[in-house]
Amino acid sequence: MQHEKDAGVVDTGSLVRRWITYAAGIYLLTMGVSLAIRAGIGISPQSSLTRTMTLVFPSVSQGTFNFILELLMLLLTYLAMPKDFKLRNFLALIPAFVLAAFLDLNLMLTSWIVLDAYAAKFLLLVFADATLAFGLFLMIRANLVLMPVDMFVNTIFKRTGRKWGNIKTAFDCTLLVTSAAIGLICLGAPHFIREGTIINGILVGQYIKLYFFLFKKFSRD
């Protein structure tokens, strides 16, 4: 969802340039997710759910589970507001598929990273969140297609009129509870939900604010 404060950042120029920016954003986002997983001290709610599912069904990749989640969110978007659902909303599955492919690729590229020292894990998580946030920043700047997950959150926002931030928080908490429940039932304990989950929630938002600030500052100079 585009806010007024984003207006000075959003690119309204060449469509080709915006798609390149968007694709680069997706790649960096998935690289950040992959590095956060390798840090091993907790990941975001969405990643914790899809990562947990790979432990329950080891033959299915995390990218595949992420795409399934996006597909489910698109279905829920339709069920929430069927009259407002447009055929063009299915276009959101294209970047969702690309994200799934990039995620599996980057998980493979980072598979060699194994850290023992907690300080190293923490620093990697901080860098991962910075990378993830920059990917999100580029996607916001491109201003093209919302991912189905974001589309669903926006739909609930329009349907209920409640604060967008509160809806997003409730949505993330639902993903966390679902991830923890699946972990308890199928694996005996929750996985991937640790202090890094909280750190991720704090840092990503702050990084995006920083990127907005820096872009506006240097674009004026």
Interhelix angle 15-39/45-56, nearest 10 degrees: 60
Task: Give the residue among 111, 138, 135 at the shortest CA–CA distance from 21.
Answer: 138
Q: Is the pLDDT of residue 8 over 70?
A: no
Task: Give the residue among 25, 3, 45, 40 at the shortest CA–CA distance from 132.
Answer: 25
> Per this entry, what is the length of the chain?
221
Average pLDDT, the chain: 93
Q: Is the pLDDT of residue 27 over 70?
A: yes
pLDDT recorded at residue 2:
45
How far are the Cα atoms of 7, 161, 173, 186, 219 from residue 216, in angstroms, in the given order?
Answer: 10, 30, 32, 48, 5
Which region among 1-5, 7-11, 176-180 has the lowest average model confidence (pLDDT)? 1-5
Q: Which helix (H) or strand (E) holds 162?
A: none
Task: Give the residue among 101, 89, 103, 4 at the shortest CA–CA distance from 44.
Answer: 103
pLDDT recorded at residue 1:
42
pLDDT recorded at residue 149:
96
pLDDT tens-digit profile of 107-125? 999 999 999 999 999 999 9
pLDDT tens-digit profile of 77-110? 999 999 889 989 999 999 999 999 999 999 999 9
Task: Give the residue among 39, 154, 19 at the shortest CA–CA distance from 95.
Answer: 19
pLDDT recorded at residue 18:
94
- Provide CB contacts within 8 A for 8, sequence distance 6+: 216, 219
| Helix boundaries (H) for the chain | 15-39, 45-56, 62-80, 93-109, 118-142, 148-160, 164-182, 195-220
DSSP letter at 40 equals: T
Task: Give the residue among 42, 190, 44, 26 at the shortest CA–CA distance from 104.
Answer: 26
